[in-house]
Structure 1
Amino acid sequence: MTDNCWNQIGVCGDRSCLELKTFVHCRNCPVYSTSGRNLLEREAPSGYLQEWTNLLAQKDEKIDARSDRSTVLAIVFRLGREWLALRASVFKEVTRPCIVRTLPHRSNEILLGIANIHGEIIPCISLSKFLGIESPKEAVQVNRETRKIDSYSKNIKSLISIETKQYERTIVLEKESKIWMFQVDEVSQTYRCCQDEIQELTVTTHNLTNSYIKGIFNLKDRKVSYLNDDLLFDALDRKLF
């Protein structure tokens, strides 16, 4: 029996091996498993350990160099035409849109009501209203290859609306036992950026409520507003409760 009989007379060969009637497939055969065990238990070739030690050491140096630049891990999401980001550490959950129940005499444009998330009652807000983001009159079209809409359709506006709703998500934030949730039009990605990538905000670069924005950074062809979660949580507590 050869060392690689499975490639010659086994399932990867001409299937003439008589043992196939018993084991059906080579992976069930003791010859195959013994060969695999011998492969894993063989001695490392000369210089193998040193080579990997050098490679891992180089990788650690790159990580340390990036850490020295004080990186920030943020989650990027969209409200209308605005791209925003918050520290990933304050995200408790990202889920599909859920039913929001209004509160008698308390619900308004910002405090929409409460929702049940896994048995926990959480206040739901309109972050777009809170930040002063105006909802566009027409559905927002985002550059995504997956959004292909028939331009000849008579009901193109309704089709855009349906496609856009597929990306809507509910974000649940938690910080120091304070929990809030809000709906966004899309959650894009988790992004690690360096502090020096975040540009200082100027009056002419943005039209949002600047009080809650630390700065902006570029992500591909977008300008993303990096929100100050400390100010955001404090303001929500003061203004809504």
Structure 2
Amino acid sequence: MRPTRPSDVPEDRPRSEGRAIDDAYLDEWAEHFRAPLVETELADASAVAFRVGAEWLALPTPMLLRVAPHVVPHRVPHRTARALRGIVNVGGQLYPCVALADLLDIDADGGSARTGRHTFARLLLVQWEGRVYALPVADLHGIVRYAGARVQPPAATINKGTQRYLAGVVAEGDLRIGLLDAALLGPQLARTLR
């Protein structure tokens, strides 16, 4: 296809040759460029968000190793820790299964699926000090990126068992997600194996 030249343009089509710009147009663009830049906050942190019972919680993404399908744990004899559900086989490896619902005093049967999405129970494989734990969750939201400056303190109405492990709360759309403090939760995970 050959390029068009001015002589190839039909005569009935107007040519744009420098037209006058009215003052209103100039004022509108001048106002646009005079407006201060909107500063967007840098999302400097991330966490994996999930639901346990009715509570939406999140753990720092560096703790997350893998998301696996939910499997029924096998009971470990002579272990009485309330939160230790047993062991699970994920990809040929055995991991201790720790119920956050029991650890954080959350009603595991509470809560309901969000509308407009399929809900599947999953296992989150998380690591704390070299040991891997399987945490059953009722629903997985995914990775949430947030600005550390936007983390809000937990509300006073939050379950006291959960509140002592929270570093704060972040908003993600219509969800309010409690950020679990890994430094507080990790030792509790390890304690379930003693």
TM-score w.r.t. the length of structure 2 is: 0.72
Aligned residue number for residue 79 of structure 1: 52
Aligned residue number for residue 21 of structure 2: none
Structure 2 CA distance, aligned partners of 1:142 and 1:208?
A: 24
CA deviation digits over 1:27-71, x for unaligned, max 9? xxxxxxxxxxxxxxxxxxxxxxxxxxxxxxxxxxxxxx75xx571
1:91 to 64, 73, 78: 64
2:152 to 168, 183, 199: 199
1:41-60 maps to which residues of 2 (within 5 A)?
none
The yes-or-no answer on 1:185 pairing with 2:138 is yes
Structure 1 CA distance, aligned partners of 2:71 and 2:102?
A: 19
Aligned residue number for residue 49 of structure 1: none
Q: Which residue identity lines up with residue 93 of structure 2 in the other structure?
A: E
The yes-or-no answer on 1:128 pairing with 2:101 is yes
Question: How far 1:227 sits from its partner (Å)?
Answer: 0.1
The yes-or-no answer on 1:142 pairing with 2:118 is no
Question: How far 1:240 sits from its partner (Å)?
Answer: 3.5
- Relative CO higher for 1 or 2, CA cutoff 8 Å, sep ≥ 6? 2
Question: How far 1:105 sits from its partner (Å)?
Answer: 1.4
Question: How far 1:146 sits from its partner (Å)?
Answer: 4.3
Q: Which residue identity lines up with residue 201 of structure 1 in the other structure?
A: P
Q: Which residue identity lines up with residue 226 of structure 1 in the other structure?
A: L
Identity %: 25
Contact 1:133 1:208 in 2 (8 A): no
Question: How far 1:122 sits from its partner (Å)?
Answer: 0.7
Aligned residue number for residue 17 of structure 2: none
The yes-or-no answer on 1:235 pairing with 2:192 is no
Which has a greater percent of strand? 2
TM-score w.r.t. the length of structure 1 is: 0.59
Distance change >3 Å, CA 136–CA 103, structure 1 → 2? closer
Aligned residue number for residue 9 of structure 2: none
Q: Which residue identity lines up with residue 240 of structure 1 in the other structure?
A: L
Question: How far 1:170 sits from its partner (Å)?
Answer: 0.7
- How many pairs are equivalent? 156
Q: Which sections of structure 2, spanning at least 5 residues, go unmatched?
A: 3-39
The yes-or-no answer on 1:114 pairing with 2:87 is yes
Q: Which residue identity lines up with residue 116 of structure 1 in the other structure?
A: N
1:169 to 102, 105, 122: 122
